[in-house]
Amino acid sequence: GREAGRGEERTASPLRRPAEAGAPLRRRTTRALSPFQPGKKGELVANADATAAGVTGSLGKGLVTGAGSSGDTAAGCEKAGGPGQAAANGAAYLTDALAEKGHLTSALAGAEDQPDYGNTADAVVALAAQGATDQAAKSLAWLQKNAADWASQSGPAAYAQLIFAAHATGADPRDFGGTDLVKQLGATGPAAAEKSDRAAQDEKKKDEESDSGLGVWWFVGVCLVAGIGIGFLISGRAKRQQP
């Protein structure tokens, strides 16, 4: 009974690649690329955030990347013989997860499902890096339309994620659905120190006094040199006039 139970558990585990062709794509993701986590019903489901990181990491890229090319790797999930196919497997999972609504969903215990803006932005970066530009562009368009309020509430990290997504897809982060992400990110930092009018006037006065004093000393020096020259000239003439 125990052995049979173990066999059933192994068969039902999503870590095994199902043989049937019609199985959901998320259950065919490579286990080395996409760590799993418990779902609402206790089943194991792939972690989209880890998958996006795995795609960019398998490609040897980081968050600051541009559109790549899928090359000779298969578009769907296949046995990963190397990093390239592993990245393609992860990108296939992300494409499937984004296909219906254009965004990933955050499912927290006891709460209604909500759009997962941050992981969607990371997924856009991963898909663009892999060369899956069609789905990356669709999800980026969704972010451009819906992510502004989320970013303003979430702060600098959110703006950074959107900037990375825009950069990866060739979009303009300064015109992201009408929002200047770079300006908004800068605005989350400390305000630039501004001098008061009085302080600026005092500094200007000091500069003028300094310049004025320097001018006086130059004038004194010139006069001194001129006086010495005139003295030598008069002295020379006096000597020549002596018998």
Helix residue spans in 13-132 (DSSP H): 48-58, 83-99, 117-130
Q: Note the pLDDT of residue 112.
A: 81
**What is the C-alpha separation between 72 and 56, in angstroms, rounded?**
17
Strand, helix or coil for residue 98: helix
Q: Note the pLDDT of residue 122.
A: 95
Residue carrying structure tokens 């989350």: 188
Q: Note the pLDDT of residue 70.
A: 60
Cβ within 8 Å of residue 240, ≥6 positions away: none
Tokens matching residue 188: 């989350």
**What is the C-alpha separation between 91 and 127, in angstroms, rounded?**
6
Catalogue the long-range contacts made by 145-153 (C-beta closer than 8 Å, 24 or more residues apart). Answer: 145/177, 146/103, 146/115, 146/117, 147/117, 147/121, 147/177, 148/176, 148/177, 148/178, 148/179, 150/115, 150/117, 151/117, 151/179, 151/181, 151/184, 152/184
Cβ within 8 Å of residue 92, ≥6 positions away: 25, 29, 75, 76, 77
Q: Note the pLDDT of residue 29.
A: 39
In sequence order, the β-bridge partners of residue 38 are 44
In sequence order, the β-bridge partners of residue 104 are 116
Residues in the chain where the model's pLDDT stays below 50: 1-34, 72-74, 214, 216, 219
For the chain, the distance separating the N- and C-terminal CA atoms, rounded to the nearest angstrom, is 142
Q: Note the pLDDT of residue 12.
A: 39
**What is the C-alpha separation between 45 and 22, in angstroms, rounded?**
17
